[in-house]
Amino acid sequence: MSDTKILALVGKGGVGKTTLSAAFVRSLAQMHPEAKILAIDADPAIGLAIALGVEVKQTLDDIRKEVIEAAKNGAGKAAVELLGEARFRIFDALVETEEFSFLAIGRPEGAGCYCAVNAYLKEVIDMVSKDFDYVVIDGEAGIEQINRRVMEKVSHLFLVSDASFKGVQVLRSIQKVAGELVMYEKCGAVINRVDNPEILEQMSDIGAPIVSVIPSDGDLALNDIKGQSIFALKADASVLEGAKRALEQMGI
């Protein structure tokens, strides 16, 4: 679908990015019940699966490893066949629910760089996004995926921070780099866990308009500690209202 809206959420780790990504998925499913929605967990921690209440059986990295193993074992034909079937294999890895589809990047074994799987993720985003109306990407914490152009083509870039100096500093760095490396249509900031409105006065130079401010929510914390998904929250939960406000402000 040429008019696919790709929403990428980026920011420092621990600022509530994954919960907001899940809230976007729930909000989009309710606002556009006929739409095809894909949630991509681009963070190796696979937290979005928990937030959405889905079970991951196969990840992008699992598929990538199978291709590499086939090549290492000298099964050239098998490797070529796996590459040729990549599109079908990726769709087989999708977790399907009534409201959305889900795909996880996975966590490479052992320490080291995520360069290979990030490069693969970039190709996958280009490949599968055309089959959906909305794609919500919960990006890896920090700036790495922006630097490696994993998020090169997105329609809406959401900069997510909490009310902390470090969180805002990371947003400024991401926004600066994204302005050079990401071809987005709109960019907006979401500030999470804000209990004092005066804090916003210190956030005027993020580099992007603030499209939503979300206060702390005890119900969300309780929901999280119980291991419940975003769909267990009441409709008037702060994060859900904040997510809808952000979507509306960005014209989604």
DSSP string, 116-140: HHHHHHHHHHHHHGGG-SEEEEEPP
Each residue's pLDDT, cut to its tens digit, for the chain (252 residues) gives: 458 999 999 988 888 999 999 999 999 999 999 999 999 998 777 789 999 999 988 887 787 777 666 656 655 555 455 555 666 777 778 899 999 999 888 765 544 444 555 566 667 777 788 889 999 999 877 665 554 555 567 889 999 988 888 888 888 888 887 777 777 889 999 999 888 877 777 776 777 899 999 998 888 888 888 888 999 999 999 999 999 999 999 999
**Residue written as tokens 């799987």?**
117
Q: Supply the pLDDT for residue 231.
A: 94
Return the CATH superfamily for domain 5-53+96-249: P-loop containing nucleotide triphosphate hydrolases (3.40.50.300)
Sheet holding 186-192, edge to edge: 95-96, 101-104, 37-41, 134-138, 5-11, 156-162, 186-192, 210-214
Q: Tell me how far apart the alpha carbons of residues 172 and 219 are, in angstroms, rounded to a whole number.
A: 30
Spatial neighbors of 236 by CB under 8 A, at least 6 apart, are: none
Nearest to residue 192, comparing CAs of 1, 9, 33?
9
Nearest to residue 207, comparing CAs of 224, 219, 189?
189
Q: Tell me how far apart the alpha carbons of residues 82 and 3 are, in angstroms, rounded to a whole number.
A: 29
The predicted model scores a pTM of 0.85
Structure tokens at 14: 């621990």
Structure tokens at 169: 């500093």
Q: Tell me how far apart the alpha carbons of residues 165 and 185 are, in angstroms, rounded to a whole number.
A: 27
Q: Supply the pLDDT for residue 234.
A: 92
Length of the chain measured in residues: 252
Q: Supply the pLDDT for residue 43.
A: 77
Residue type, 92: D
Q: Tell me how far apart the alpha carbons of residues 184 and 80 are, in angstroms, rounded to a whole number.
A: 34
